[in-house]
Amino acid sequence: MSIVAKVFWAFISLGVVTIWGLTLNGIVHKIFARVQGRLGPPVWQPFIDIFKNNAKRTAISHGIMYYLGPVFRIAGGIGTYMFIPVLFGSPYFSNFSASGDVLLVMYFIFFGQLGMALGAGEGGHPYSAIGVSRGLSQMTAFEVPFALSVISLAIQYHTLNITDIVAAQQGSFLNWTLFTNPLAVIAAMIAMLGMNMYNPFSVVIAPQEIPIGPPTEYQSAFLGLLATNRGIFNGAKLVLFMNLFFGGATNIFEMVAKTFAIYMFSVFVGAAYPRFRTEDSIRFFLKVPTLIGIASVLLFSL
């Protein structure tokens, strides 16, 4: 396939995952509303918000980094997704997975979050520094068990190439990492709770505590850009976890079913538990899931 065709299909794939990620956000808002006894917004509300925000303009500026924060954020989301194969064996939905591995994807995850932190730090809200410190502290904590699970997979499959990891899980569902290396999957799924920032790990924006974060720091097209990235980044993370731990997908219907099931794990936990304090969240990630990740690495090393 030529590079032009590859770029074309990569952007088609990006559009598909953006729509799916935004749809998941709408479903989650509806679920949380019903759990709390409310009707909730319609499932298509994220799309309405993006169109509405992109139609507005703002004259507020706090410096160059204030503008670049959302740009870095969506660059991290797109970069994360572009190096992940979406459908195993498909030449059209493999993106640029042959040009990068899981370590590159992890760097892009960090890049987007760090860029958002720099942008928020440039904002005019006096509590921005609190949100930045909380976000980076929790990110550092949940990256530890996730990194350990990736190391365990590298030892198990003798590769960091995502396509090769998916290929090793084909043939039967018993070949999925979920069954061949359950300790790594447990550590990574707990880390994903921190990545998604639902309760009990919603310590960054901290609903009902401090009114900060992108909804108040950014307006108009900046907020629309961040909302778009929320769909891209959610979809990218779910496809990554599906490939690493749940056998990947060979068609779009399997991808939708698996990513939906993976995402619902965070939603159910978030609906059932109250929020941790920041220090409790960090201690949690550095204890139980980290120990599970270490045990997984030692098990396959021996």
pLDDT given for residue 208 in this prediction = 58
Q: What pLDDT is attached to residue 188?
A: 94
Give the pLDDT score at 244.
95
Per-residue pLDDT for 301 more than 90? no
pLDDT digits (tens, 9 = 90+) for 89-142: 888 898 888 888 899 998 888 887 777 777 777 776 777 777 777 888 888 899
Cβ proximity of 81 and 109 under 8 Å: no
Enter the pTM of the model. 0.89
Confidence band of 179 (pLDDT split at 50, 70, 90): very high
Tell me which of 244 and 39 has the higher pLDDT: 244
Residue 200, preceding peptide bond in cis (omega within 30° of 0):
yes
How far apart, in Å, are the Cα atoms of 158 and each of 37, 98, 168, 250?
Answer: 49, 16, 10, 23
132: nearest Cα among 146, 151, 118 = 118
Between the alpha carbon of residue 182 and those of residues 186, 196, 245, 292, 296, the distances in Å are 6, 21, 9, 10, 8
How far, in Å, CA of 259 to CA of 240, rounded?
9
What angle, rounded to 10 degrees, do the helices at 288-301 and 128-157 form?
A: 20
Exposed, middle or buried, 62 (CB in 10 Å: 0-12/13-18/19+)? middle
* pLDDT at residue 210, as a whole number: 53
| Six token digits for residue 216 | 């108040």
> If phi over 0 gives left and psi between -120 and 50 gives alpha, with beta otherwise, what is residue 208?
left
Helix, strand, coil percentages for the chain (3-state, nearest 5): 70, 0, 30
Check residue 16 and report its DSSP letter.
H
With a cut of 70, say whether residue 162 has pLDDT above it. yes
Lowest-pLDDT choice from 104-113, 151-160, 240-249: 104-113
Q: How confident is the model at residue 240 (pLDDT cuts 50, 70, 90)?
A: very high
Give percent of the chain with pLDDT exceeding 90: 40
Q: pLDDT digit string (tens) for 47-76?
A: 988 888 878 777 666 777 777 878 888 888
Cα–Cα distance for residue pair 3/155, rounded to 1 Å: 33
The per-residue pLDDT for 202 is 82
The model's confidence at residue 216, banded by pLDDT at 50, 70 and 90, is low
When pLDDT is cut at 50, 70 and 90, the band that residue 252 belongs to is very high
Domain coordinates in residue numbering, the chain: 3-301
Q: What is the pLDDT of residue 69?
A: 78
Packing angle of the helix pair 220-245, 102-121 (nearest 10 deg): 160
Q: What is the pLDDT of residue 206?
A: 64
Q: Between residues 120 and 240, which one has the greater pLDDT?
A: 240
Overall average pLDDT of the 194-200 stretch: 85
**Burial (Cβ within 10 Å: 0-12, 13-18, ≥19) of residue 274:** exposed
For residue 209, pLDDT beyond 70: no
The string of pLDDT tens digits covering residues 266-283 is 888 888 888 888 888 899
Q: What is the pLDDT of residue 50?
A: 85
C-alpha–C-alpha distance, residues 20 and 25, integer Å? 9
Of the two residues 99 and 249, the one the predictor is more confident about is 249
Question: Of 27, 104, 111, 78, which is closest to residue 230 (Cα–Cα)?
Answer: 78
Asked whether the predicted pLDDT for residue 19 surpasses 70, the reply is: yes
- What is the pLDDT, as a whole number, of residue 227? 81
What is residue 57's DSSP assignment? -
Largest CA distance in the chain: 60
